[in-house]
Structure 1
Amino acid sequence: MNTSTARRVLASIAACATAISLAGCGSSSAQDATTIEFWDPYPQKTADSTWEAFVKDCAPEGYTVKRVGYAQSDLLNNLTTAVKAGNAPQIALIDNPKMPTAVDAGLVTDIEAAGVDVSDYDENIEGPGIIDGVQYGVSYGSNALGLYYNPEVLEKAGVDPASITDWDSLNAAIEKVVESGAKGITFAGISGEEGTFQFLPWFWGAGGDLTDAAGSQAEQDALDLVSGWVKNGWAPKSVATDNQSAAWDLFLTGEYGFSENGSWQAESAKEQGFEMISIPAKDGGVAPVPTGGEFITIPTQEDISDEKLQATVDVIECLIGTDENLKATNDEMVYLAAKSDVREQQVAENDVWAPWVDAVENAEGRTTEVGLEYETISAQLSEDLQAALNS
């Protein structure tokens, strides 16, 4: 063994022995040493998108960023394969309810130990990425759910949106809208996580607790509410298969009074003259909504040099390392930032965000309290929702 080879072997052994243990040890990756591979769940953002340019512009000197967009449902499976094969990307954006799964499978590493500043972020937004006291990712921002309404439809029906403060007043408003000749409400009840995501505000708004969800009174109350809209003819039967985009397309017809949908529709809503109120809890007040968005993570590497790890951190810092960078990333993704002072800047520049601040600040992480159990809980809630909507 020559001196140079011996040094490389010793360096590899030393790296494997570090306390932070950012990666498992094994054969070196075949990836280009000067390429930072960046995976995200935004395949709709193509090579000519502003997001593509935004990410690539974060390449440190001497490096390039190779971005790959996977469907949300495929990213974790592909990441599992890549980690096992020893050619994982340096950065991956993981949907927040998938974080416990990624950590349990050993797919991601301690991002704070890697050198990423995780201070001053909102605890409720970061919760799903912190497991057993270790922060495995940084959520740069969140989207949220709200209750959009069509002012023209409500005015014709004689409904004051300020009067909607609980479920009874919401139902009374929807009934008036329908009696006026318009249609009631759209929402997404599709099977799977997307439908559960939209069901949770009603479940939590009824006092629900994910540690005791299935068969609880809160679940039954929420199921009765949303299935009752369908049975009364206030919501279309298609809600059982509608995703959030389909529910929004129905609302865009101008025929409906209300639509439960996300902050990502805020600009579209503004263009149409639609407005938003927070989703009401059963007995009054604002219902918690689930945090949305992704976590920036550093996947487990077979072998990564100190220099490339630092370059990886530099890319992440370019995206979120300063208030200016964090704001730019959230503006690009149409999210509200996970830091209050940056959110204030966003609202100051664009008042469309003002109604969403309370929703984001009071949102709850789906997995924060229940961890890996959320997958089973979500699946059961989805099954129960489908049964109620199709009964």
Structure 2
Amino acid sequence: MSRRPRRRPVLLALVITAVLVGTDAGCAVTGGSSGGGLAGKYFVWDPYPQFDQKSAWAGLLNACGKEAGVTVIRNSYDTGEMATMVEVAAPQQAQPDVLIVDNPTVSTLAHMKLLTTTAQSRLDTSAVEPNLLAAGRLDGSTYGVPIGANTLALYYNKAVLKAAGVDVSSITDWASLTSALRRVTATGRKGITFAAVDTEEGTFQFLPWFWGAGAQLGNTRSAQAVAALTLLTDWVRKGYTVPTVLTNTQDTSWKDFQSGNVAFAENGTWQLAPAGKLPFDYGIIRVPARNGGSAAVPLGGEFVTVPVQQDTSRYGVSSRIVTCLTSAQNSLATDRTLSYIAPTAAVQRKQVAADPSLAVWVSAVQSAKGRTSDNLGPAYPAISSGLANAVHDSLSGSKSPQAALAAAKPAAK
């Protein structure tokens, strides 16, 4: 979840037009194997519309194309639109040669037979950390290479904790965190802010508590799942949270923390740059698990994949472009631009050497978990939707945690 997905309504006719005509990037056809006139041109779709053609990211794409002896034609789409774009493009043979896509979408596209495996495209993934690679696996095969990862941790306001007499080192489990929130609230401040909006963002932010209780996505009505939802529901009921958690996105939740009146904010690596501009001292700790230690946190970030093409001779160049984009040298620069933690241990060490404050994030990523890593494949979106609704219903008080999760079970199926 490197940035909040902007989910605009996408009309099918507009999607087809965009696929066949292209975008302002300057291409007439966005697909990679549509036929004549494409010699020497390779098409890359990415979910980074915030980077224009003069950006360092666009420069890297051009450089990787040049290294492979071709011209890269780039098109950028919002994260929430990408899967739809690919699904519509495939029957038209207008899919890109290289597709950069949010990691939970990889297994869905793979299930639809729209992506090549790394064995087919001959991509080397041997240096990638296994838990990161697992987010792009389905039925024993890997599809693509992660370009970087982000995840969640707890930012904290040092002054607010000091005023409440809370030593952050004492927070080691749910009980000690809840005690800290109670003490902060007694001073007139709010204990914690997070996003509980009923979308994927809400699920993403619930997963550390869900997994920290020992719950599994294959069983969203387990006692462990109920414990996690009960924890957050009790926090809301007792006034430990900001009053807007039900409508908070990760962006608006961060604004709560910026106010200086909240002790903790559950948020991600993408807030590191804004955190450097906070008017108060802050720190970062891992999300605690129920009974101690650190909770598993969800992996955000994208995979660089090679879509299936009718003209398989294009795979060689496509793979060279992917290899260039995800190389150790380029990964260090790219992950700095995208506020990502690198997918390989070697580059992670370089990141920490350059910026020791990243150590907590590297630690979190190293033990993080892909949302589809349990071979959930295309089942994940329904599971996520069910969990998001359950969180919303329980935190709003309309249902008990047990009833809310029981109602989510049909969606999980």
Separation in 1, partners of 2:267, 2:58: 26
CA contact (8 A) 2:40 2:71 kept: yes
The Cα of 1:249 is off from its aligned counterpart by 1.3
Separation in 1, partners of 2:302, 2:350: 21
Query: What amino acid sits opposite 2:92 in the alignment?
Result: A
Q: Secondary structure at the match of 1:284?
A: coil
Separation in 2, partners of 1:152, 1:125: 35
Per the alignment, residue 131 of structure 1 pairs with 138
The Cα of 1:335 is off from its aligned counterpart by 0.8
TM-score (normalised: structure 2):
0.84
Per the alignment, residue 363 of structure 1 pairs with 368
User: For each residue in 1:136-166, what CA deviation from the matched residue of structure 2 results, as whole angstroms up to 9, or x when unmatched?
Assistant: 1111321010011001111111111101011
Per the alignment, residue 6 of structure 1 pairs with none
Bigger mean CA offset, 98-107 vs 38-47: 38-47
Per the alignment, residue 299 of structure 1 pairs with 307
Does 2:280 align with 1:275? no
Query: What amino acid sits opposite 1:328 in the alignment?
Result: A
- Cα RMSD for the two superposed structures: 1.6
Per the alignment, residue 22 of structure 2 pairs with none
Query: What amino acid sits opposite 2:125 in the alignment?
Result: V
- Greater C-alpha radius of gyration: 1
Equivalence map 1:148-187=2 (5 Å)? 148-187=155-194
Separation in 2, partners of 1:232, 1:278: 23
The Cα of 1:375 is off from its aligned counterpart by 2.0
| Structure 1 consecutive aligned stretches of length 4 or more whose deviation exceeds 4 Å | none
Q: Secondary structure at the match of 1:59?
A: helix
Separation in 1, partners of 2:272, 2:357: 7
TM-score (normalised: structure 1):
0.88
CA contact (8 A) 1:109 1:299 kept: yes
Alignment size in residue pairs: 361
The Cα of 1:303 is off from its aligned counterpart by 1.8
- Note closer, same or farther for the CA distance 1:157–1:30 as it changes in structure 2 (3 Å cut): farther
Flag structure 2 segments of 5+ consecutive residues without an equivalent: 1-32, 398-413
Query: What amino acid sits opposite 1:320 in the alignment?
Result: T
1:120 corresponds to which of 110, 122, 127: 127
Separation in 1, partners of 2:166, 2:271: 23
Flag structure 1 segments of 5+ consecutive residues without an equivalent: 1-26
Separation in 1, partners of 2:40, 2:88: 22
Per the alignment, residue 320 of structure 2 pairs with 314
CA contact (8 A) 1:124 1:361 kept: yes
Per the alignment, residue 23 of structure 1 pairs with none
Separation in 2, partners of 1:241, 1:232: 18
Does 2:263 align with 1:257? yes
Separation in 2, partners of 1:355, 1:286: 11
User: For each residue in 1:247-303, what CA deviation from the matched residue of structure 2 results, as whole angstroms up to 9, or x when unmatched?
Assistant: 111111111110000011123224423210000011111110011111110111122
Per the alignment, residue 297 of structure 2 pairs with 289
Q: Secondary structure at the match of 2:45?
A: strand
The Cα of 1:304 is off from its aligned counterpart by 4.4
Q: Secondary structure at the match of 1:142?
A: coil
Query: What amino acid sits opposite 2:196 in the alignment?
Result: G
Per the alignment, residue 343 of structure 1 pairs with 348
Separation in 2, partners of 1:35, 1:350: 38
The Cα of 1:31 is off from its aligned counterpart by 5.9
Task: Indicate the structure whose relative CO is greater, using CA pairs within 8 Å and at least 6 residues apart.
Answer: 1
Q: Secondary structure at the match of 2:270?
A: helix
Separation in 2, partners of 1:57, 1:139: 19
Per the alignment, residue 14 of structure 1 pairs with none
Q: Secondary structure at the match of 1:342?
A: helix
Per the alignment, residue 239 of structure 1 pairs with 245
Equivalence map 1:57-76=2 (5 Å)? 57-60=63-66, 62-76=69-83
Per the alignment, residue 401 of structure 2 pairs with none
Separation in 1, partners of 2:342, 2:80: 24
CA contact (8 A) 1:266 1:352 kept: no
- Note closer, same or farther for the CA distance 1:111–1:30 as it changes in structure 2 (3 Å cut): farther
User: For each residue in 1:185-207, what CA deviation from the matched residue of structure 2 results, as whole angstroms up to 9, or x when unmatched?
Assistant: 11011112111010000011111
Query: What amino acid sits opposite 1:347 in the alignment?
Result: V
Per the alignment, residue 24 of structure 1 pairs with none
- Note closer, same or farther for the CA distance 1:155–1:75 as it changes in structure 2 (3 Å cut): same
Q: Secondary structure at the match of 2:263?
A: strand
Per the alignment, residue 86 of structure 1 pairs with 93
Separation in 2, partners of 1:72, 1:31: 29
Separation in 1, partners of 2:122, 2:66: 16
Separation in 1, partners of 2:178, 2:274: 26
Does 2:371 align with 1:384? no
Percent of matched pairs sharing the same residue: 40
Per the alignment, residue 17 of structure 1 pairs with none
Q: Secondary structure at the match of 2:161?
A: helix
CA contact (8 A) 1:60 1:314 kept: no
Query: What amino acid sits opposite 1:359 in the alignment?
Result: A
Q: Secondary structure at the match of 1:242?
A: coil
Separation in 1, partners of 2:225, 2:36: 50
Separation in 2, partners of 1:191, 1:390: 11
The Cα of 1:329 is off from its aligned counterpart by 2.2
Separation in 2, partners of 1:199, 1:29: 46
